[in-house]
Amino acid sequence: MAVASEKTVIRTTCPRDCYDSCGIAVVKRDGAITKVLGDPAHPVSRGALCGKCALAYNGVWRDPAHRLQRPLKRSGAKGEGRFVAVGWDEALGEIASGLKRVLAEAGPAAIWHAHYTGTCSLLAGGFPVRFFNRLGAGEVEPDSICNLAGHVALDLVFGSSYTGFDPRSARDAACILVWGANPSASAPHAHKHWLAEAPGRKIVIDPVRHTTAAAADLHLQPFPGSDAALAFAMLHVIRREGLIDRGYLARHALGWEEVEPKLDACTPDWGERVTGVPMRLIEAAAVLYGRGPSLLWLGQGLQRQPMGGNLFRACALLPAANGNIGKPGAGFYYLNGGARKGLDGDSIAAPELRAEPERKLSHMDLAAALADPARSRALFCWNINIAASNPDQRRLHAALRREDLLTVVVDLFQTDTADLADYILPAASFLEFDDIVSPYFNLTLSAQVKAAEPMGEALPNQEIFRRLARAMGYDEPALFEADSVLLDRLCRQAGIGGGFAELKARATVELFAEPVLQFADGRFPTPSGRIEIASARAEALGLPRAPLPHADPRPAGGRLRLLSPASAWTMNTSYGNDPRNRGKLAAEGLTLHPEDAAARGLSEGALARLSNEAGELLLPVHVAAKVPPGVALASKGAWPKLDGRRRNINALHTGRKADMGESTSVHAIEVTVAPAGS
């Protein structure tokens, strides 16, 4: 008779770049992981994982046939995809020699590292920066691929973009306005529980009628890039209805008088003409928001526009002029940062190791910089998949094929970026080491707990860079600090006195007993201590002093505006290699409004050719009125190498910069759409 097998459950946390930071239950039998499930005790996800992680964590993430397991060294021509396995010492020794050669010949200025949020856990996401600080390498500005325009804008207005509302304030809110975010895909449990159970009425402002929009009390569908005008039209109504909080403005803001005269012309009728939103909806949304108390969630998708910074400053006028800040049920949110919880980012990244002045490069300029041997001789990519996620894909791929660009990629999988490397280093997955997750929505802290040994010879990012520091002959103790020391320190910074052991035992810790009121004291960390509606700092940056009621011009010449936001089935490009996730993503295709499809002779399932000055892509058509006429929708996330022509949606992204932060304007792509055969 077989002996009953021993079952254990390990509680950990999903560290993806996601609002939810779900609790996970890892089921093990006889020492081996058999299933990765949701943790029923987790307050956000309540026992479920999202569909994409349920598939991927029980698919490619635990599949030895898909995971990188040994360091690899290029054996064919660059980009050909031929590699041989080598030992860690050999790989790191050769990388160190290569780096020393570049340092001797060109200095650290020719070395770049690109990284982002492949994992958001604190050590695997932050500790390697210590190595690059010591090396003096330049950093490809991480947020310029995602959300920097919004950060710069909110920093100008409020002095912080990382101090959002506490989601628990929803219990006191009469209205929740979700503007340019899609929780049904990008925060699925917040969509399902937090938003659904909030007592207030919901408004969604998004060109796409996604699941969260369809479930809202009001859905406004502006043409992309017209939201600043919409904000002004809403303020016109808020003023007309006597809902401007003049006392709040007088006490806490500067520069309202520079904006207010502009409202005269921004009537709802004007708003309808400029944004496409019917005036009765503009009025209804303005009154509902304006009566308050209201929460305003500013999505990251919202600011990926040529005038994304101006757009965010315009949206920020709503809570400021309406006094919807600092009282129960009121506030705005973009991201909640670690500092909010006492975490000190510098204690992870150790900027004091840097002898060189800091150098940054926008992702929008990366292809050009890598194409130029005088500017770049070595590149590290870790926690990022630039060959799939970045703009200017054709030029970027060409630059990465430079034989003389020493390229090192650290990843779990053989991505398109890894295919273009000289050395590929296998990273351990979040199931394979201890770490900490600091959610950017809820004011909580969670443990990432080791549930298995790293697959093959894979190592956590932090250990890879400790070993590389040793291979370089560095001797600063900070480069070698142990995970356990770092984890305990971070827990104590957040007030968890028992250190990581306590966090691990509690899985997720609520750091504040009661909902935290945002800027309750009415003091803002701007130079003036007030909300800077008109901003001298903006002026010094060459920007308008105050936000403008701008709307982007509509595409001309029959082109469509292409949106490529988050899919429910991939996490950026992560999971794009899992056969099941990939199938779900591919089935989404290119959504066109029935009028646009008919005008182009495209019917459901037909193959369309999308083209513009950056490139060309083929996608199957899905016809649905969930987008307005003039707008096309196709999610991000596909792996170029799994498309016959090695490209994805970013083959169409020119890399045009937003007005602030040299940030992406990916939601402003314009394309010609035609039948593939034409």
Ligand X SMILES: Nc1nc2c(c(=O)[nH]1)N[C@H]1C(S)=C(S)[C@@H](COP(=O)(O)OP(=O)(O)OC[C@H]3O[C@@H](n4cnc5c(=O)[nH]c(N)nc54)[C@H](O)[C@@H]3O)O[C@H]1N2
Name the site residues for Mo ion (rule: CB under 5 A): 146
**What is the nearest approach in angstroms of ligand X to the Cβ of residue 45?**
14
Angle (CA) 537-539-541 rounded to 5° is 75
With CB under 5 to 8 Å by kind, the binding choice for 305 among ligand SF4, Mo ion, ligand X, none is: ligand X
Among residues 509, 503, 474, which one has the least CA distance to residue 491?
A: 503
Residue 421 interacts with ligand X (CB under 6 A)? no
Residue 145 interacts with ligand X (CB under 6 A)? yes
Other beta carbons within 10 Å of 240: 16
With CB under 5 to 8 Å by kind, the binding choice for 21 among ligand X, ligand SF4, Mo ion, none is: ligand SF4
Asked if 27 and 37 count as a contact pair (C-beta separation under 8 A), the reply is yes
The residue within the footprint of ligand SF4, chosen from 45, 58, 310, 362 (CB under 6 A), is 45
- What sign results for the dihedral spanned by CA atoms 539, 541, 546, 550? positive
Q: How many residues bind ligand SF4 (CB under 6 A)?
A: 13
76, burial (CB in 10 Å: exposed 0-12, middle 13-18, buried 19+): exposed
The residue within the footprint of ligand SF4, chosen from 18, 181, 198, 314 (CB under 6 A), is 18
With CB under 5 to 8 Å by kind, the binding choice for 631 among ligand X, Mo ion, ligand SF4, none is: none
Amino acid at 287: V
Among residues 332, 330, 20, which one has the least CA distance to residue 200?
A: 330
Choose between 508 and 663: whose C-beta lies nearer to Mo ion.
Answer: 663
The residue within the footprint of ligand SF4, chosen from 22, 282, 469, 652 (CB under 6 A), is 22
**What is the nearest approach in angstroms of ligand X to the Cβ of residue 274?**
13
Asked if 661 and 144 count as a contact pair (C-beta separation under 8 A), the reply is yes
Answer left, alpha or beta for residue 383, where phi above 0 means left and psi between -120 and 50 means alpha. Answer: left
**What is the nearest approach in angstroms of ligand SF4 to the Cβ of residue 332?**
22
Choose between 320 and 571: whose C-beta lies nearer to ligand X.
Answer: 571
Helical axes 499-506 vs 483-493, angle rounded to 10°: 70
- What sign results for the dihedral spanned by CA atoms 399, 400, 401, 402? positive
Choose between 226 and 526: whose C-beta lies nearer to ligand X.
Answer: 226
The residue within the footprint of ligand SF4, chosen from 138, 159, 164, 188 (CB under 6 A), is 188
Residue 181 interacts with ligand X (CB under 6 A)? yes
Q: Which residues of 332-356 are buried (b: 16+ CB within 10 A; e: fewer)?
A: bbbbbbbebbebeeeebbbeebbee
Residues 326-365 interacting with ligand X (rule: CB under 6 A) = none
Residue 446 interacts with ligand SF4 (CB under 6 A)? no
**What is the nearest approach in angstroms of ligand X to the Cβ of residue 459?**
10
Of 20-28, 60-68, 303-311, 551-559, the window that binds ligand SF4 (rule: CB under 6 A) is 20-28
User: What's the half-sphere exposure (Cβ side, CA atoms, 13 Å) at 197?
Assistant: 10
Instruction: Residue count of the chain, please give it.
Output: 678
Of 46-54, 343-351, 356-364, 631-639, the window that binds ligand SF4 (rule: CB under 6 A) is 46-54
Tokens standing for 528? 């003036």
Q: What distances in angstroms separate CA 272 from CA 139, 267, 269, one per listed residue?
A: 43, 9, 5
Residues 40-69 interacting with ligand X (rule: CB under 6 A) = 52
The residue within the footprint of ligand SF4, chosen from 10, 53, 173, 507 (CB under 6 A), is 53
The residue within the footprint of ligand X, chosen from 144, 160, 442, 564 (CB under 6 A), is 564
- Cα–Cα distance between 341 and 661 in angstroms, integer? 26
- Cα–Cα distance between 426 and 526 in angstroms, integer? 43
Cis status, amide bond into 640, omega within 30 of 0: no
Residue 275 interacts with ligand X (CB under 6 A)? no
The residue within the footprint of ligand SF4, chosen from 10, 11, 12, 16 (CB under 6 A), is 16
Residues that bind ligand SF4 (CB under 6 A): 14, 16, 18, 20-22, 45, 49-50, 53, 188-189, 571
Residues that bind ligand X (CB under 6 A): 17-18, 52, 116-119, 124, 145-147, 179-182, 185-186, 205-208, 210, 222, 224-225, 227, 299-302, 305, 382-385, 388-389, 410-413, 415, 427, 461, 563-568, 570-574, 636-637, 649-650, 653, 666-667
